[in-house]
């Protein structure tokens, strides 16, 4: 029977790199907690030829679980899923953070599992690196010095693992519990008799981990009730932690020397984590990242759009006009293009995140922003995904993976779509350019520019307000301290960054991209069927056309507008007109809202089709003029500044993006949360737009 060897350690200890070396697989390597969130297994051969299964567990700081991701590792270690405990545990210990990392080793030894310590980062520790032989004597288990990136010490480690599998290990406690703690453990032991093995370390884990609002699953009700009945739990927890660290300080502390790498890191951190200079440095980094997401990706985005445009033109030229041609060009190709157009931004975002993770800078960003974000109920690590939302919500939601706690990831996903993404910009540009003139001034400032800035500020403010509300209601949870390892600064390894970048992109294309493409095709069908009656020249009485060519173009445009109005989507626009009428919207705007689910910027082209203008962009003067002159049956204008403002507020808050919904479903793993996001954003958008409309009418605006 194959032996089971668990590989555990704090985040950023080189665990994934060591796994790659031992198994020959390639894994993501980073300097940020939360990268490895699933169990990864691989078959290996021990030094004596025996087979073994190496299991790479999610990074954890201790066996006291605060998140569901940590509990994955801990449940496996404790044998809580009826699979038994591993035969041996290899603990990765960062030599530059020795005492902090050895805390986990003590906990594993208390469980009585054979343990081998892989001492990593020994090259960075330099003179601070302890002597492995002396450390082995103090810990009572094998200790092997390694440099996983360079393959140093791998053979020796494999031999130590082979030897350790032939020995028995007994629970080893380095400290003595107080009488009060013994009584607490006894009460848990009584409650756990019919559920768990009689292991004092297991009862100690429950005492340290179970709490109100935790994310732990599978905890028997009697055990949870027994823990929650114990008075003054925090005091007992402090006793446990202090006892372990006291032993480490007295027994291992003298083996640790001065760390030159750590000294350099500390000097840089005086600037990077400074509340003023650190924030300024971070803004500079974010500015560079945004420049790439907004500007540097434009050529690649344009190239992808041109490529799919040429592909569509080629099919149009080859295939005869008809339904099949329209399906291929407007449905299938447009659907796939809607997925691939995000790639440049996604690749650049993941590239920058990878550089910040591997260099060790990302942990400093989270620490710097934690105080501000926590005031709104968010985790400090939510700052980068929210900031990325200004470019596109899709990669921003993918970036929430850097948060360990599921609740924090969900809360961030729920508010990221409120950030003003680049897809809203064409809508804002069209509405502002149509209804507000460049000569309109508010003091010395132009109204157009002020409105654009106001919409960006409005989106940000609403995201923070909604985060605060959700953190106090549906996503309420006890505050968890931001536990971060601040690793020494390291030069990022480009191959690792590129592998991570491509791996995450593949995940997006495979899982979220499929949903996006299918949804876009469905939306095309809703706007294409049923087929409208053909328009003849006799139906165009009153049209202004000076040439036959213009007449023919007008017929095509009118046919497209008629098709849209009579389609299922157009009929739905008429159907919802009574609902959106209080916002100042007519059925044509309703169709635009339906079409914009494919992508918000589709609203502009949908308006062009509805008003028979043809292919347009947000700068189209013909479309703007048509919108300005459009009137209701009673002669009142359809488009007024108040209507435009209500529409922009609606777009700022509504979840008008199938791509975002698809990615939320993928990342949350739940249609319920996806539905909640869509529902609350739609209701919020409707109410806010209604308040703008009705408030404006009360103030005398039309």
Span 549-570, average pLDDT: 66
* Per-residue pLDDT band at 630 (split at 50, 70, 90): confident
Contact of 647 with 653, CB cutoff 8 Å: no
> What does the block give as tokens for 115?
């343990």
Highest mean pLDDT among 140-144, 323-327, 362-366, 531-535: 140-144
Contact of 90 with 15, CB cutoff 8 Å: no
Give the C-alpha separation, 6 to 21, whole Å: 15
Identify the residue with better confidence: 132 or 540. Answer: 132
> What does the block give as tokens for 323?
């339904």
- What is the chain's alpha carbon radius of gyration, rounded to the nearest angstrom? 30
User: What pLDDT, in 10s, does the model give residues 292-317?
Assistant: 765 677 788 778 878 888 888 898 88
Identify the residue with better confidence: 388 or 319. Answer: 319
In this predicted structure, the answer to whether residue 36 has a pLDDT above a threshold of 50 is no
In this predicted structure, the answer to whether residue 467 has a pLDDT above a threshold of 90 is yes
Contact of 84 with 100, CB cutoff 8 Å: no
User: What pLDDT, in 10s, does the model give residues 260-273?
Assistant: 555 677 788 888 88
User: What pLDDT, in 10s, does the model give residues 406-437?
Assistant: 888 899 999 999 998 877 877 888 888 888 87
pLDDT for 463 equals 93
pLDDT for 97 equals 83
Q: For strand 88-94 and strand 3-9, is the pairing parallel, antiparallel, or unpaired? A: parallel
User: What pLDDT, in 10s, does the model give residues 64-105?
Assistant: 765 555 667 777 877 776 667 889 999 999 888 888 899 999
Identify the residue with better confidence: 136 or 340. Answer: 136
Phi, psi of 477 (to 5 degrees): -160, 155
Please state, for a pLDDT cut of 70, what percent of the chain lies above it: 82
Identify the residue with better confidence: 262 or 391. Answer: 391
* Per-residue pLDDT band at 35 (split at 50, 70, 90): very low
Contact of 63 with 205, CB cutoff 8 Å: yes
Span 480-489, average pLDDT: 65
pLDDT for 585 equals 92
Domains of the chain: 3-164 (3.40.50.300), 507-535+545-698 (no CATH)
pLDDT for 504 equals 65
Coil/strand/helix, residue 631: strand
Contact of 44 with 22, CB cutoff 8 Å: yes
Please state, for a pLDDT cut of 90, what percent of the chain lies above it: 21
CA nearest 112: which of 163, 162, 78? 78
pLDDT mean across residues, the chain: 80
Span 491-497, average pLDDT: 79
Give the C-alpha separation, 341 to 304, whole Å: 6
pLDDT for 28 equals 43
Q: How many residues does the chain have?
A: 702
Sign for the pseudo-dihedral over CA of 188, 190, 194, 197: positive
List the single range of 2-16, 333-347, 349-363, 652-666 with lowest mean pLDDT.
Answer: 333-347
| Burial environment of residue 419 by CB neighbours within 10 A (0 to 12, 13 to 18, 19 or more) | buried
* Per-residue pLDDT band at 479 (split at 50, 70, 90): low
In this predicted structure, the answer to whether residue 609 has a pLDDT above a threshold of 70 is no
User: What pLDDT, in 10s, does the model give residues 187-244?
Assistant: 999 998 888 878 888 888 888 888 776 667 778 889 989 988 887 777 787 888 889 9
Other C-beta atoms lying within 10 Å of the C-beta of residue 131: 12
Span 549-561, average pLDDT: 58
Instruction: Give the list of residues 6+ apart from residue 683 with CB closer than 8 angstroms, or none.
Output: none
């Amino acid at each position: 029977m194959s032996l089971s060897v668990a590989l555990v350690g704090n985040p950023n200890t080189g665990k994934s790199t060591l796994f790659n070396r031992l198994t020959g697989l390639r894994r993501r390597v980073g300097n940020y907690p939360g990268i490895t969130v699933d169990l990864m297994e691989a078959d290996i051969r021990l030094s004596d030829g025996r087979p073994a299964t190496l299991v790479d567990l999610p990074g954890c700081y201790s066996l006291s679980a605060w998140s569901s991701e940590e509990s994955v590792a801990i449940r496996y270690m404790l044998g809580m899923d009826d699979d038994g405990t591993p035969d041996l545990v290899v603990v990765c210990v960062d030599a530059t953070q020795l005492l902090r990392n050895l805390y986990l080793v003590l906990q594993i030894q208390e469980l009585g599992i054979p343990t081998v310590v892989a001492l990593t980062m020994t090259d960075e520790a330099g003179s601070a690196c302890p002597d492995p032989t002396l450390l082995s004597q103090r810990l009572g288990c094998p200790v092997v010095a390694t440099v996983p990136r360079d393959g140093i010490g791998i053979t020796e480690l494999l031999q130590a693992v082979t030897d350790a599998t032939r020995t028995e290990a007994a629970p080893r406690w380095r400290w003595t519990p107080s009488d009060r703690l013994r009584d607490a453990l006894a009460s848990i032991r009584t409650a756990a008799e019919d559920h768990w093995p009689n292991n004092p370390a297991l009862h100690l884990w429950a005492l340290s981990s179970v709490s109100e609002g935790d994310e732990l699953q599978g905890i028997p009700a009697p055990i949870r009730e027994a823990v929650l009945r114990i008075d003054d739990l925090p005091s007992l927890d402090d006793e446990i932690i202090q006892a372990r660290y006291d032993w480490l300080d007295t027994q291992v502390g003298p083996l640790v020397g001065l760390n030159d790498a750590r000294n350099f890191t500390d000097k840089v951190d005086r600037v990077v984590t400074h509340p003023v200079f650190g924030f300024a440095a971070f803004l500079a980094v974010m500015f560079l990242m945004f420049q790439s997401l907004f500007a540097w990706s434009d050529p690649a985005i344009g190239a992808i759009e041109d490529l799919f445009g040429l592909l569509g033109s080629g099919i149009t030229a080859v295939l005869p006009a008809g339904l099949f041609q329209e399906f291929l060009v407007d449905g299938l190709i447009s659907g796939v293009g809607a997925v691939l157009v995000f790639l440049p931004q996604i690749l650049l975002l993941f590239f920058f995140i990878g550089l910040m993770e591997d260099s060790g800078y990302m942990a400093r960003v989270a620490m710097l922003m934690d105080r501000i974000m926590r005031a709104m109920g968010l985790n400090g690590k939510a700052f980068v995904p929210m900031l990325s939302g200004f470019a596109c919500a899709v990669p921003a939601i993918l970036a929430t993976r850097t948060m360990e706690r599921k609740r924090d990831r969900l809360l961030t996903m729920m508010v990221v779509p409120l950030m003003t993404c680049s897809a809203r910009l064409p809508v804002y540009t069209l509405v502002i350019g149509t209804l507000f003139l460049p000569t309109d001034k508010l003091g010395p400032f132009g109204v157009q520019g002020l409105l654009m800035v106001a919409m960006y500020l409005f989106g940000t403010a609403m995201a923070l307000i909604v985060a605060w509300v959700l953190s106090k209601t549906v996503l309420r949870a006890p505050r968890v301290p931001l536990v971060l390892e601040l690793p020494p600064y390291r030069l990022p390894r480009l191959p690792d960054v590129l592998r991570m970048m491509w791996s995450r992109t593949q995940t997006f294309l495979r899982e979220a991209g499929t949903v996006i493409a299918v949804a876009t095709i469905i939306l095309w069908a809703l706007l294409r069927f049923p087929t409208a009656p053909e328009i003849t020249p006799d139906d165009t009485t009153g049209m202004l056309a000076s040439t036959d060519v213009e007449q023919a173009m007008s017929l095509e445009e009118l046919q497209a507008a008629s098709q849209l109005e009579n389609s299922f989507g157009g009929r739905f626009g008429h159907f919802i007109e009574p609902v959106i009428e209080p916002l100042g919207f007519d059925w044509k705007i309703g169709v635009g809202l339906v079409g914009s689910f494919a992508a918000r910027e589709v609203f502009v082209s949908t308006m062009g089709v509805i008003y028979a203008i043809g292919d347009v962009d947000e700068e189209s003067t013909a479309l703007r003029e048509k919108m300005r002159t459009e009137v209701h049956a009673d002669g009142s204008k359809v488009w007024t500044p108040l209507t435009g403002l209500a529409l922009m507020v609606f777009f700022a808050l509504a979840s008008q993006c199938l791509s975002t919904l698809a990615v939320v479903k993928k990342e949350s793993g739940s249609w319920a949360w996806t539905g909640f996001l869509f529902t609350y954003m739609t209701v919020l958008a409707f109410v806010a737009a209604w308040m703008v409309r009705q408030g404006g009418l009360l103030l005398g605006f039309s």
